[in-house]
Amino acid sequence: MSGTPLQRLGRNASEWIEALGQVMAFAGAIASAIVRPPLRGRRLLREIYDAGVLSIALICGAGFAVGMVLGLQGYTTLVRFGAQESLGAVVGLVLIRELGPVVTGLLVIGRAGSATTAEIGAMVSTQQLDGLRMMSIDPLHFVVMPKALALLFVMPLLSSLFTVFGVFGGYVIGVQLVGLDGGSYMASLENAVDFRDDVLQSLVKATVFGALLGVISTYRGYRSPPHAAGVSRSTTSAVVTASVWLLLTDYLITAFWGV
Amino acid sequence: MQSSATRDFIVGLFVLAGLLAVAYLSTVLGGLSYRGDGSFRLVAIFDDIGGLSQRSPVKIAGVKVGQVAEIALDEDLRARVALDLDARLELPVDSSAAIRTAGLLGDQFVSLEPGAEDELLAPGEFFTYTESALSLDKLVGRLVHGDAFGDE
């Protein structure tokens, strides 16, 4: 590192922008690979199985637990204002608008995103991608695209499952444990939730997060240095970068949706 | 690893479960169907709607029968509130609409009081009798400034 602090700042900034541009170009390449003819249906199904089906137990369990916590915390806070009848609205809105997509995204990053980076990274370091290229199979089309598309596809589904189980968890706490009326829990929930404002926002968020973490985790694997330490560093960096970008994007979508 | 057919089946099951969750969120919770064919619209004019907003519930005897569809200012500067109501509802022409609050500080909603006439309100018609929102701060203001009975 040489030069004045200002020069170093400038260099860091341009490196950062260059890296961002490379990710964008990579995302563009994936997008064009999706529309290019061979659909890779079998590979896609396999990736959906790995990223989606194998995450179901985790997502449903986590959703249920988060819903129960929200139910209990929401109740103890609301009861101070005598507004415990609004528990359903609190649990439902928090889950649908924020926690559903965000926590699902973070869990999928940890479970499927890291596996994606590690798998592609290992393929890079054992030169399997070069082997594919030698058989004139584009590894971007054969390996990367199905993985990224599968993550994009499973995110809204997993996020909705998380939300439904969370609502159910809140119901169990609110109605069975604390003793609110089940009808008023569901009524306050149904009154408060709107399709366009809340449910659509939730689905858009989950889909955008899916695209984001699909691109980041495959990119980190694809660009991983070809040795064990490199793969492990890439995996860490994929999890960190994807999590941070997910939270930033979440704020942006929330702000632009107009609350 | 299972055979490919089993895996396809499980993937199909997963997608189905996910789509069911999406459908549940959009229709049951999101209320996608409420503004569908099963509703008719009535209009009520209020002097003051307080904190009423779109999608606030409309209730008869505490039971939800519809929601506030639209709020606008009419020509003589009063609030014009359109209500979407369950189509099975039969309201006499002398029914009244009032804005009430759930609990002391809770959400505001429109409460309908059915009248006694034989003639029924048709879609698009107006409520003859309305009662505006009772605002707590106005009441407190009157109390503090002495004219507690509201004769100005």
Give B126's DSSP letter.
B
* A205 residue type, one letter: K
Helix (H, G, I), strand (E, B) or coil at B133: coil
Q: Per-residue pLDDT tens for B66-86?
A: 888 888 888 888 889 988 888
A127 HSE (CA, 13 A, CB side):
4
DSSP string, A153-168: HHHHHHHHHHHHHHHH
CA distance A28 to A140: 11
Nearest-CB residue to A82 (from B17, B29, B103): B103
Nearest-CB residue to A195 (from B21, B26, B103): B26
Nearest-CB residue to A190 (from B17, B31, B107): B31
Q: Tell me the backbone φ, ψ of residue A57, rounded to 5 degrees.
A: -60, -45
Residues in chain B whose Cβ is within 8 Å of chain A: 4, 7-8, 10-11, 14-15, 17-19, 21-22, 24-26, 28-32, 55, 57, 64, 67, 102-107
What's the distance, CA A205 to chain centroid?
Answer: 9
* Cα–Cα distances in angstroms (integers) from residue A19 to residues A12, A127, A219, B48, B87, in the given order: 10, 23, 11, 57, 59
Q: Give all strands of the β-sheet with B129-131 in edge-to-edge order.
A: B39-46, B79-86, B63-73, B57-60, B108-113, B96-101, B129-131
In which residue are the tokens 């993985």 written? A147
- In contact, A30 and A147? CB cutoff 8 Å: no
Instruction: Tell me if B28 and A190 make a contact (CB, 8 A cut-off).
Output: yes
Local confidence pLDDT in tens for the 259 residues of chain A: 577 888 889 999 999 999 999 999 999 999 998 888 888 888 888 899 989 889 999 999 999 999 999 999 999 998 888 788 888 889 999 999 999 999 999 999 999 999 999 999 999 999 999 999 999 888 888 999 999 999 999 999 999 999 999 999 999 999 888 888 888 888 888 878 878 788 899 999 999 999 999 999 999 999 999 989 999 999 999 999 999 999 999 999 999 887 5
CA distance A153 to A149: 6
B84: which 2 tokens? 């979407």
CA distance A222 to A227: 13
Residue A98, chain B, CB below 8 Å: the answer is: no
For the purposes of burial, counting CB atoms within 10 Å of the CB of A200, is it exposed (0-12), middle (13-18) or buried (19 or more)? middle
Instruction: Tell me if B22 and A160 make a contact (CB, 8 A cut-off).
Output: yes
Instruction: Tell me if B30 and A194 make a contact (CB, 8 A cut-off).
Output: yes
In which residue are the tokens 């895996």 written? B7
ipTM of model: 0.76
Instruction: Tell me if B25 and A164 make a contact (CB, 8 A cut-off).
Output: yes
Q: Taking the model in full, what pTM does it have?
A: 0.76
Helix (H, G, I), strand (E, B) or coil at B69: strand
CA distance A197 to A54: 31
> How many DSSP H helices and E strands does chain B contain?
2, 7
Contacting residues of A for B32, CB less than 8 Å apart: 195
CA distance A187 to B104: 19
A235: which 2 tokens? 């995996």
- In contact, A57 and A40? CB cutoff 8 Å: no
Q: Per-residue pLDDT tens for B51-63?
A: 888 878 888 888 8
CA B19 to chain A, closest CA, distance in angstroms equals 6
What's the distance, CA A138 to chain centroid?
Answer: 26
CA distance B96 to A77: 37
Binned at pLDDT 50, 70 and 90, residue B6 comes out as confident
- In contact, A242 and A216? CB cutoff 8 Å: yes
CA distance A151 to A217: 10
- In contact, A109 and A217? CB cutoff 8 Å: yes
DSSP string, A123-157: HHHTTHHHHHHHTT--HIIIIIHHHHHHHHHHHHH
